[in-house]
Structure 1
Amino acid sequence: MKNTYLTSYFPLLAILLFSLSLSIRVEMELLEILKNAGIYEGMKEFFTDGGIKLALLSLLLILFFMVFAALKLIANTVNEISLLFFSKDSEGDSLKYIRAGSLIYFIGGAISLFSLFSMIGIVAIFVGTTVVYFIYFVFKISPSMTFAGTIGVIFFQVVIWSALLTGVLFLAVKVYNSIMASLPI
């Protein structure tokens, strides 16, 4: 590619596409829960059906956008720290090589829109896209590294993401358990 900035908007579009697909899916589930609880009919006194759906979609889109933007920020930081520790490249050429990888997430986000009726499908597409991007990342940066450096990057990435995921899951379980323990049953 001649201009390295040609794909600079792909991360934003990928975040929007994944956020939109998750927002639509969660909105469908949330509307069903609200209808079953009898809350939806009360909401219709203040909003139209379209207004309720648009408000929920907008709020969920903003929520998921913030989550994916934070994940992108963390991912960029982890990628650059792993390059700092293990790469022989001091000019930043490796970052230029991996920039086109944002197309992978853009394609994954577009595909996720076809899986609106399956939360598992959307999550599987996101995880699959992430695995494909990780393989692309390692493949593109490996020429500027020794074999030990490449193994170090892989190990570093796996340890950091595993620790983050485990920590978030642990906190979620703790909050869930404390809420369940506080309910008068």
Structure 2
Amino acid sequence: MKKNVYITGYLPLFSIILFSSAFAIHIERLLISKLKFFGVYQGMRELFSAQTIHLSAGFCLFLLFFMTFAALKLLSDSCMQLGLFFFSMDKEGDTLRLTRQGGWIFFGGAMAAVVLNFSLTIILILFAASALVYFFYFLLKASTYMNSVNIMGMVFLQLFFWAAFGLVTAYTVVRLYNALMAGIAS
């Protein structure tokens, strides 16, 4: 029986769908409880059925998380391949073929996140743990084509990129929040 090398090609999509579902389910429950607490939910019930409110909120949250995770996957793949371009001695793309099986790591983490969606902390821990385990898996597989200096360069490139991305995102959110609060206060 011939082995199909493309069998894991669907795993990133399913992982994104499952992580998005886990986050959306948890946040939707939290959103509905906050709407009830502030008294907005009852007014919405006069216009829409409960199922419509829950489905609409859940779908919008799913879409938001799906787009976020898809963008993060695109950034991650680009950063990984840029790191391979700079630091790998592989010229044929064997490193990418070796690391393709790592999609199972995210898939397993995503399945666990769907099952354990009652806590946002657990979902975040599962996502971070999946990313960290995948990164070490990637470094282990890529070390075939890298020496220790190149591996350190790859690690520092990843750390620099994600730290810069996180800081720019946090700065933008804080500035947006401050502008919103200043607009409300005046």
Decide: shared fold, TM above 0.5. Answer: yes
2:98 is matched with 97
The reply on whether 1:52 has 2:53 as its aligned counterpart is: yes
Q: CA deviation at 1:115?
A: 2.2
Q: Percent identity?
A: 38
2:67 is matched with 66
1:156 is matched with 157
Tell me, in whole angstroms, the C-alpha distance in 1 between the residues paired with 2:138 and 2:94: 13
Tell me, in whole angstroms, the C-alpha distance in 2 between the residues paired with 1:18 and 1:108: 8
Tell me, in whole angstroms, the C-alpha distance in 1 between the residues paired with 2:68 and 2:95: 26
- Cα RMSD (Å): 1.3
2:79 is matched with 78
The AA in structure 1 aligned to 2:48 is F
Tell me, in whole angstroms, the C-alpha distance in 1 between the residues paired with 2:58 and 2:107: 21
SS at match of 1:121: helix
The reply on whether 1:3 has 2:7 as its aligned counterpart is: no
Tell me, in whole angstroms, the C-alpha distance in 1 between the residues paired with 2:177 and 2:117: 27
Tell me, in whole angstroms, the C-alpha distance in 1 between the residues paired with 2:166 and 2:4: 36
Gaps of 5+ in 1: none
Query: CA offsets, 1:87-133, max 9 Å, x none?
Result: 00011000001111111000000011122121111111101111100
Tell me, in whole angstroms, the C-alpha distance in 2 between the residues paired with 1:15 and 1:124: 16
2:118 is matched with 117
1:175 is matched with 176
Tell me, in whole angstroms, the C-alpha distance in 1 between the residues paired with 2:58 and 2:120: 16
SS at match of 1:8: coil
Tell me, in whole angstroms, the C-alpha distance in 1 between the residues paired with 2:163 and 2:5: 32
Q: CA deviation at 1:183?
A: 2.1
Q: CA deviation at 1:36?
A: 1.5
Q: CA deviation at 1:181?
A: 2.2
Query: CA offsets, 1:161-180, max 9 Å, x none?
Result: 11101110111111112222
Tell me, in whole angstroms, the C-alpha distance in 1 between the residues paired with 2:103 and 2:170: 27
Query: CA offsets, 1:52-75, max 9 Å, x none?
Result: 101111111111100000000000
1:32 is matched with 33
1:87 is matched with 88
